[in-house]
Amino acid sequence: MHEIKKLSELNEEQQNQFMSVFVEGFHHVFSSISKDKEKLHKLFKFSFDYDRAYAFLQDGEAVGILGLSDYQARPIRLSKEVFMEIIGGVAGKIAYKQVCKALEKPHSIQPYEIYIDYIATKPECRSKGIGTQLIEFVRDTLGYRHLELEVFSKNTRAIELYKRLGFREIAEKKDFMMMLNGFGKRIIMRLDTATT
């Protein structure tokens, strides 16, 4: 049995599972801050907007996650104090500024659009349609005209999935640091929903 719930509706164990899926899914992106997954878990644990984050529960376990932005706010709000405590003084301040730049600045979208900020699945549950069901949930139940997301050009598997779901490429952004780390360009993709 499966269901999709907001992070705010999960119990503590499920919330920890959510954090683990996030860290496992994005530790490669945040490895310049720390390669220690436990540290990353602590860094982000209290950073999520619990009403903008969703979990895919399979038999009560959070195995897929998704975070949404609208034109006003993003689904992650970071704490400089937490970064300084976990990473250390100056390094924590630098890491905080670096991550804030990427995760907190609102996207340039309209009130009738939603942005999928992050989506990830527990490694052993990948290729089982969980990402598809999360995107379909957003498309079919939240009432937005357009869904947008960003994917790295080297992530060809994800690009293929998004294209199968009806997304099309609308822009490319060069991000020197991400390209240097082997992720490629950032590709913005859009899906026009049936409500258009």
pLDDT tens-place string over residues 141-181: 988 999 999 999 999 989 999 999 999 999 998 776 666 66
Phi-psi region of 60 (alpha: psi -120 to 50; beta: other; left: phi over 0): left
Residue 83 to residue 93: CA distance in whole angstroms: 7
Q: What percent of the chain has pLDDT over 70?
A: 95
Class of domain 2-192: alpha beta
Mean pLDDT of 122-146: 93
pLDDT higher than 90, residue 101: no
For 30-34, 46-50, 53-57, 85-89, which range has the lowest pLDDT when averaged over its residues? 30-34
Residue 187 to residue 12: CA distance in whole angstroms: 35
Q: Which residues pair with 66 in a beta bridge?
A: 54, 119
pTM: 0.88
pLDDT higher than 50, residue 196: no
